[in-house]
Structure 1
Amino acid sequence: MMKITLFAVIISAGILTSCNVNAKYRKQGNHWFEDGTLPNDKEGKKLYVDEGRSEYEELFKLHDAAAMAEKYTEDCVYMHQDLGILRGREAVRDAYADIFDSGKHSVEVETQDVELLETGYMQAIAVMHYFDEDHNSMGASRIFAILKPVEDGFETHRKAEITEYN
C-alpha cells in the first residue's frame, strides 16, 4: 500500500504545472508577480512561492471553481486519491465545485519544496490544510505539482493529491 501511495504522489507531482490562482492578477495573465517578472533565482523563487501561496488561499476562499480552473493548462491532468484522474479544465472546475460543496471554506498551504527545472517548468511539493467556516480542520492533502511556463507566467499542468483524513 505504501508503494502505491508513493507512486501516486510521484505521478501526481508531474500533474501540477500550471496553478496560478489569483483573480486580482488576471488582467496581467497567469503570473503571480504584479510587475510581470518570473522567478529565476533563489530570492525570486521565494517571492513567487510566498505570493503564489497567499493568492491561492485567497482565491480558494472566494469559492470560484471557474477561476480556480483557469489557473490550470487546458490539457492538465489532476490525479486525486478520491476523485480519480481528471483531465482538462472542465474536470478541474467540477472538482473544485465539489470541494467547495463539501464544506471546505478555506485552505492553508504549507510549501515544502519548490524547484525550477531545467526545462523551465516548476516543481512544487506542499501540504494543503483544509478548514470549515469555523476554522475546524477538515483534513489535509499532500500535493505534487508541475507548473508549465506560459507566455505570462505559469499554469498548473500536472497535479497529484493524496488526502489524509482526520
Structure 2
Amino acid sequence: MLDAACGPGTYLAHFGPGSFGLDRDAAVLSAARTRGCEVLQRDLSAAGWSAGLPAFEAVWLCDALVHLPDPGAFLAELRAITPAGTPVAVAEWVLPQRGRLRRALALATPGARAFWAHPEHLHRFTEPDLIGLLDRAGFEPQGRILHSLPAPLRRQPVVSLLAPWLPPRTLLARAR
C-alpha cells in the first residue's frame, strides 16, 4: 500500500507490513518513523517524485490533491507506478456543486469551514472535478463513500434521503 502525503503516519501505521509512505515534510516523516512506518521524503508536486519506487498493490491519498499545484500531473505519474486494476482511495473534502448547499455543509460539518478556508489548500474540488482528474489520469471511478458527517447524523432518515446529493468524502477508483 502506498500512502502518498502520509504526514505523521496516522493511516499508514494501520496498513500493515509492506506499506510505504511519502511526504515532503521531514518533521512529519520523523513522527511517522516513530510509529514504525517505512517512509521516504519526496515532494509530490515535483516531476519525477516516483523515481525508483516499485509498483504498488493499492494507494491511499488523504487530503493530498488539494495541496498540489497540479494534481493532474501527480495522478498521471502515480498511474505510471500502479498496474491495471490497482485500487485507489482518494479522501478529500469534496464541495457540493451548489453554493447554498456548500455553505450549509460548511456550517454543519465539523472542521469543514476551517479546512476550506486554509491557505495551503490550493483547490476546492467538487465530485465531478475529482472524477474528471482521476479519469484523465487513467483511473476508473468505482464508487463513493459519504462520511463527512458524524455517524449519528448520517443515520438520520432525512440525511439518508439526501445522501445521493451530498458530496462524498472518499472516492474509490481502479487503475485502467
TM-score, normalising length: structure 1? 0.28
Computing the radius of gyration over CA atoms, which structure comes out larger, 1 or 2? 2
Relative contact order, higher structure (CA 8 A, sep 6+): 1
Q: Which has the higher strand share?
A: 1
TM-score, normalising length: structure 2? 0.27
